[in-house]
Structure 1
Amino acid sequence: MSLYRWDDARVRAALEPLLGGEPDAPDAGDRVYTGISTDSRSVAPGELFVALVGDRFDGHAFVGRAVAGGAAGVVVSRSPTGGALVGEGGVLEYRVADTLEALGALAAYRRSAAEAPVIAITGSSGKTTTKDFTAAALSAAFSTHATTGNRNNRVGVPLTLFAMPTDAEAAVLELGTNEPGEIAALAAMTAPDLAVVVTVGDAHIEKLGDLEGVLAEKLSLLRAQPAVAARPIVGDRPAILAERAREIRKDVRVAGTSHLADSDLRARNVRHTPNGGTLFTWRDLEVRLRIPGRHAVTDALIALTVAEAMDVEPAAAVRKLESVQPGAMRSELRSMGEIELVVDCYNASPQSLEAALDLLHQRSRIRAPRSSVAFLGTMLELGAKSPALHRAALKGALDRGIDLIVATGEFADAARALEANSGRVILADDWSDAYPALRERLQGDEIILLKASRGVALEGVIPLLATDFSGADAEEAGPADTEAGYNRGGGI
């Protein structure tokens, strides 16, 4: 595997509209960089360091550390060392007004040099699973590069492009957003050959406003596709997604489980297995997923549609995606003694909560007569509509007949507003305060859903359950694995 060769000429070509002046060093024209980094803690010798500025950090404060770590060049909007870096030890300085914009320009330049087709995937939920399914399906015929971890925003997408091997035959990129215009910027950067929107819902509406704002933001990915590009693909729910997508591209393809899906992209005979798998029939093929839940079926169908568009033999694509495992804290089934956990607390929105409650219901039916418990934490970034959305979501959970609901954070406020039956609801402002009351109510054979936004850290319940019900040491059990990473604030 070889990575793209960055030299001074290519860096200057990528940054040409942004540069405030030429780098001043005797060997500038001969400079070759070993890579591009945004993290001074892990910069490797010979890399180009881009000093990003965020709400809680400023990369310019760490330029010295990056140079000490071996950085051979720096992209900055000011020189924290008063210009001492230029020419000193051969370090080159590229001065721009906005280093985040410069990072995007470097990424766009890398994309323009790639021959591999790019598949760009976005959605309010399900995009990571769809990305994983798509990368697996394409790997049946192509050397495939894909997003890792939560690298889906204006920092993470460039890092994904920089990591793409020169011999990659396909690239599957996950695009997220939490503010208007971010998808359009990422689409311009990645120039997708095929665009996918998995679904839309009330997620991150603090900045996107409402469902209409989410629709406009997500569908900007389709607007960025050239008219001659492959037919875009969307999921079948909600119905308005396909309706609005067809206003942009009449030839859009719709995949899913409902009557809204194209007949040849529709799943039949969906069923769920005791061990957490999901089975369905697609055309004449039987598909066996290791990921539980009906929502995973739509994600898999989208991946198979992408593979078909790229001439991958369907049976080979099916075999590959059948190997995909749930990601950490994404519809992940765990056992704590006789308790079954549905760990789905990587992120949360009203739409993804509904899917998680569907999964809890499915598991309860399969494992009957076990009791069902929904341990709920705040859905973040819902703005002024947050109280109403939490009340509606909690009412929906109560109406499903779940045996016990642990309502924490804004769900506790919602329960008080709804005057929820205290016999079925445990209230607490924080999950750690709720756990002792839950422990007293558990028999040790329940099915428990953990659902909250990432910032709530609800996975902290897992080692407590392990200690109390499986005899494992809390430190040994640990929370679900997560990627800390540098890419803060990944979008939806």
Structure 2
Amino acid sequence: MSIGMLSTEQLYHKFQECTGVSTDTRRITPDCLFIALKGGNFDGNQFAEQALASGARYALVDDAAVAERDRASGTDRCLLVADGLTALQDLARHHRQTFTFPVIGLTGSNGKTTTKELIAGVLSKKYNLYATAGNLNNHIGVPLTLLSLNEQHELAIIEMGANHQKEIAFLCSIALPTHGLITNIGKAHLEGFGGIEGVRIGKGELYDYLAQNAKTVFINSRDKTLMAMYRERLKSIRSETTFAEAIFYPAANPDEETTTLISESPVVVYKNASGHEITTHLPGRYNFNNMLAALAIGDYFGVSPEEANRAIADYNPTNNRSQQVIKGTNTVLLDAYNANPSSMAAAIQQFAATPAKRKAVILGDMYELGDESEAEHAALGKLIAESNFDLVILAGKDMRFALEYLPKAYYFPDKFSLHNWVMDNPMADTHILIKGSRGMSLESVVPFI
């Protein structure tokens, strides 16, 4: 007799018997639900038996032969569905709908994760909250994040990433955010989005969802692009449904602003509403904007200004994002988690303004730029040249396009050569910026400095 496929409701009852979910047999916890996913080079169905043997209570599979084999063995713990990924997403949506607490959806071209961490730090002063762990912000990560929510939580922050249009709209249909924030619109994933206008449309899908479902939006009032996108949606809504409310930060009226930037280098120092100076661990005006977002959201949800500012001051990144590392007499600004033309330009301009005896940059390729890659890397070379750094080191196949403006730069097509050069040419008393796309993994250079 063939095994029937479970509905989402039936699957949810099984999920409620479990302690959590896992898609990796190396991370099986007792009585979890193992979800078999398929990729280009793997098929999670083939690891279902291993997951059960390692302690999983059930294994969700979309291979009937695996489920039949499991039933024949007498365990009957493989749950058959038509498609594992779709079942994961449907299960997550169903679970999300059981909660009524606020869910903040967060996206943008740059600063998503740092902003998420700052907001989480502020809101955790008052709430038991759950925020996206690491970078679990895609069509798999968002469902896994939602399935980690439980009745003890009072608020959730869901980071949503995208590299093509319609992806944010789809993630919103799963996460169902009640509040939302776009950090900015920049030159990220140009290849997938089809250019900067495609980025604007794709990221703007969060605004679309919030407006169409009468939810709350937080907007940086100084960002002309975001303000224009907000106004466009007010005009385009044909029914009475629109944003429930719009919260602007800084204040829409400059005379009402209470938080002012004092210094952005080497770290942000700002004056709060009480006139006290707050010294942070993050550099740059771009991070100050992220802090303003966290403060605005904290204020909206009733976190006291004292607690909110303390959370901002205490946040110290350890995730390759604006992370300061001391190596001997050198100070390394490790910002190697990701890079695109917008974030790279902001980091270089900020670093150029940082007071230091000697400054060096180690920069790697910016990925996913498609036909724009040569022009964007060349433009980056021009910006670097105008910054007059003492030492410029470039790595990656597309960084060669930056050399037109940088005749004295050291260039390495691969990281092996880069590592050797840095090891053979030790630096001292130098401030060093390291930045590149995730695929470059330039944090690997730090041990050689």
Q: 1:120 aligns to what?
A: 105
Find the partner of 1:388 among 375, 382, 385: 375
Q: Residue 455 in 1 paired to residue 444 in 2?
A: no
Deviation at 1:82, TM superposition (A): 6.0
Q: 1:398 aligns to what?
A: 385
Moved more, 310-319 or 296-305: 310-319
Residue identity matched to 2:282: I
Pairwise mapping of residues 8-19 of structure 1 onto structure 2 (< 5 A)?
14=8
Conserved 8 A contact 1:61-1:80 = no
Conserved 8 A contact 2:114-2:290 = yes
Deviation at 1:13, TM superposition (A): 5.8
Pairwise mapping of residues 282-361 of structure 1 onto structure 2 (< 5 A)?
282-286=272-276, 287-361=278-352
TM-score normalised to structure 1 length: 0.81
Find the partner of 1:184 among 169, 173, 184: 169
Residue identity matched to 2:412: A
Find the partner of 1:281 among 249, 258, 271: 271
Change (3 A) 1:387 1:238: farther
Q: 2:204 aligns to what?
A: 219
Secondary structure, counterpart of 1:81 in structure 2? helix
Change (3 A) 1:268 1:79: same
Residue identity matched to 1:278: V
Conserved 8 A contact 2:15-2:33 = no
Conserved 8 A contact 1:235-1:255 = yes
Residue identity matched to 1:209: G
Unaligned runs of 5+ in 2: 235-242
Conserved 8 A contact 1:34-1:46 = yes
Deviation at 1:399, TM superposition (A): 1.4
Find the partner of 1:270 among 234, 246, 262: 262
| Structure with more contact order per residue of length (Cα contacts < 8 Å, sep ≥ 6) | 1
CA distance in 1, matches of 2:99, 2:259: 34
Conserved 8 A contact 2:179-2:216 = yes
Post-superposition CA distance 1:193-248 (Å, at most 9, x none): 11000012111122111111111111111211255755312345752222113222
CA distance in 2, matches of 1:79, 1:99: 12
CA distance in 2, matches of 1:458, 1:300: 26
Find the partner of 2:365 among 360, 374, 378: 378
Change (3 A) 1:75 1:44: same
Change (3 A) 1:164 1:414: same
Conserved 8 A contact 2:103-2:156 = yes
Q: 1:4 aligns to what?
A: none
Q: Residue 144 in 1 paired to residue 129 in 2?
A: yes
CA RMSD of aligned residues (A): 2.8
Post-superposition CA distance 1:77-112 (Å, at most 9, x none): 222436121374443443333211111111111111
Secondary structure, counterpart of 1:113 in structure 2? coil
Pairwise mapping of residues 131-170 of structure 1 onto structure 2 (< 5 A)?
131-170=116-155
Residue identity matched to 1:414: F
CA distance in 2, matches of 1:117, 1:260: 24
Deviation at 1:75, TM superposition (A): 2.2
Residue identity matched to 2:296: T
Residue identity matched to 2:432: I
Change (3 A) 1:110 1:195: same
CA distance in 2, matches of 1:414, 1:429: 12
Secondary structure, counterpart of 1:158 in structure 2? helix
CA distance in 1, matches of 2:15, 2:246: 47
Q: 2:239 aligns to what?
A: none
CA distance in 2, matches of 1:183, 1:155: 13
Conserved 8 A contact 1:15-1:102 = no
CA distance in 2, matches of 1:75, 1:439: 48
Change (3 A) 1:265 1:352: farther
Conserved 8 A contact 2:394-2:411 = yes
Secondary structure, counterpart of 2:371 in structure 1? helix
CA distance in 2, matches of 1:413, 1:30: 51
Conserved 8 A contact 1:72-1:90 = no
TM-score normalised to structure 2 length: 0.88
Deviation at 1:52, TM superposition (A): 0.8
Percent identity of paired positions between Structure 1 and Structure 2: 31
Secondary structure, counterpart of 2:434 in structure 1? strand
Deviation at 1:172, TM superposition (A): 1.2
